[in-house]
Amino acid sequence: MPASTTPLRDYLDRSSPGSAGPDHLVVPRSLAESMPLRWQQVFAGMLADLHDAYADLPWPQYRVTAVRDEALTDLDDDQLAATGYQADLGPDGTLEYRGPDGRPVAEPERHQVLAPVRDPIPPVSAGRVEPRPAPRR
């Protein structure tokens, strides 16, 4: 079977760590800086090539927030506010959820949202993050 002509797309289309939707990839700096020196050299070279090749584009700054797919009914007040959802007591005394558009959410216990969570990846200030050994084949 011939090699793919879109290997990066093929890899990122799978559910891979760091995918930020269909349009972005996030690489935690602490993990990148913890890679072996040779990997860092290659990675830095690839990033330099990428930035050189697309230097003419108006690159914005990005704000990255750790999120996780969570059931709407499991969110706390801060997470509800961050996602634009509201939970209020209805006339019968049960919680009613409303989406960012103000409309009621049908079956809120089955409704999944990307909610902000505490980032489980150590920050770069934490120092080197030791990788786990790759499984033997």
What average pLDDT is seen over the chain? Answer: 91
Rounded to an integer, what distance in angstroms lies between the CA atom of residue 33 and that of residue 46?
Answer: 15
Rounded to an integer, what distance in angstroms lies between the CA atom of residue 131 and that of residue 11?
Answer: 20
In a 3-state reduction of DSSP, which class is residue 47?
Answer: helix
Rounded to an integer, what distance in angstroms lies between the CA atom of residue 76 and that of residue 70?
Answer: 11
Q: What are phi and psi of 97, to 5 degrees?
A: -105, 140
Q: What confidence score (pLDDT) does residue 115 get?
A: 94
Take residue 15 and report the two structure tokens written for it.
């559910």
Rounded to an integer, what distance in angstroms lies between the CA atom of residue 68 and that of residue 130?
Answer: 24
pLDDT at residue 29 is higher than 90:
yes
Mean pLDDT of 18-36: 88
Mean pLDDT of 36-50: 96
pLDDT at residue 11 is higher than 80:
yes
DSSP state of 104: B
Q: What confidence score (pLDDT) does residue 76 get?
A: 94
Confidence of residue 1 (pLDDT cuts 50, 70, 90): low
| Amino acid occupying residue 33 | E
Mean pLDDT of 114-134: 89
Q: What confidence score (pLDDT) does residue 28 get?
A: 94
The pTM for the full model equals 0.75
